Structure 1
Amino acid sequence: MKIEANSPDDYMKKVPQERITAMTKLRQAIKENLPQGFEETINYGMIGFVIPHNIYPSGYHCDPSLPLPFINLASQKNYIAVYHMGIYSDKNIQEWFVGEFKNRTGKKPDMGKSCIRLNNLENIPYDLIGELSSKISVSEWIATYEKSIKRI
């Protein structure tokens, strides 16, 4: 399910009614915990939290006209997805998250490389998503990105 939106607020207006509460709480948890310097925008057709060009002029290596992505939030066809590049690029953060998710929900997370699939809207650990959002600062993400993803 792709939502066509011009802004994060426009995106939220188009989220299916049964997911509005969960998406609102997830967005709020991310925004309240994300270190200073990240910017909320529409990125790849999702709500994105990125490092803007005024902080990182090189942009994203796949398309330098785009800001450097960090977290995306999306209402997909069968689940809500949180895409967190820190989980993809930092094994310690991934291991911490998987363990904490199981401790807080009683289940292992349904995950891809950077994708956390939230299938059960009644069992979303919003506080954990907030904590995850706080784990990497702008400068730390740039350093990790340049070391492990951009490979300069």
Structure 2
Amino acid sequence: MDIEEYIRQIDDRWQDAFIGVWKTIGENLPEGFQTEMQHGMPTYAVPKETYPEGYHVDGGTLPFISVAAQKRHLAIYHMGIYSNNALYEWFTDAYPEHMATKLNMGKSCIRFSNPQNIPYALLGELAGKMTADEWIELYESRKS
């Protein structure tokens, strides 16, 4: 399945929100990432040409941000926020300035249960905070 096919199969309730989040991230992400399907989700990843070693789990491209439309929520998996405490703290501190709703977040997964309550500007800012080279450096430092 490719990304367009994935979008076509999303439930109507989540389709516009997914497209908005996917575009917002893509428009704000620094150069150096490619789009692909990974683990059943549309993903922005570091290509093998940039990071030949690849992801330690499967040797494929190094995932950075994935977006998934689930039955009850929209999920954003941000590997950089999982690995960088300062970035995690910045996001959790900034969230209340953008949304009145409670943040529903695990270590790398940001979940939205209402398609009307998504802080697109904040997600765009988050997407622009780490370059592919910075993500590779952080990934390498945490790998060992």
> TM-score range with shorter-chain normalisation?
over 0.9
In structure 2, the residue matched to 1:37 is 32
In structure 1, the residue matched to 2:43 is 48
Out of 113, 116, 126, which is 1:132 matched to? 126
Out of 104, 116, 127, which is 1:122 matched to? 116
Matches within 5 A, 1:1-152: 6-64=1-59, 66-148=60-142, 150-151=143-144
Shift of 1:24: 0.7
Aligned positions, number: 144
Q: Which amino acid aligns with 2:45?
A: V
SS of equivalent to 1:48: strand
TM-score normalised by the chain length of structure 1: 0.92
Runs of 4+ off more than 4 Å: none
Shift of 1:77: 2.2
Shift of 1:89: 0.6
Judged with a 3 Å threshold, the aligned counterparts in structure 2 of structure 1 residues 108 and 96 are, in CA distance, closer, same or farther, namely farther
Judged with a 3 Å threshold, the aligned counterparts in structure 2 of structure 1 residues 129 and 136 are, in CA distance, closer, same or farther, namely same
Query: C-alpha distance in 2, partners of 1:58/1:118?
Result: 33
SS of equivalent to 1:87: helix
Aligned-residue identity in percent: 42
In structure 2, runs of 5+ residues without a counterpart are none
Contact 1:98–1:108 (Cα < 8 Å) also in 2: no
Query: C-alpha distance in 2, partners of 1:116/1:13?
Result: 22
Q: Which has the higher contact order (CA 8 A, sep 6+)?
A: 2
Query: C-alpha distance in 1, partners of 2:41/2:15?
Result: 15
Question: Per-residue displacement from partner, 1:106-131 (whole Å, max 9, x unpaired)?
Answer: 23310111000111211100111111
What is the CA RMSD across the aligned residues, in angstroms?
0.9
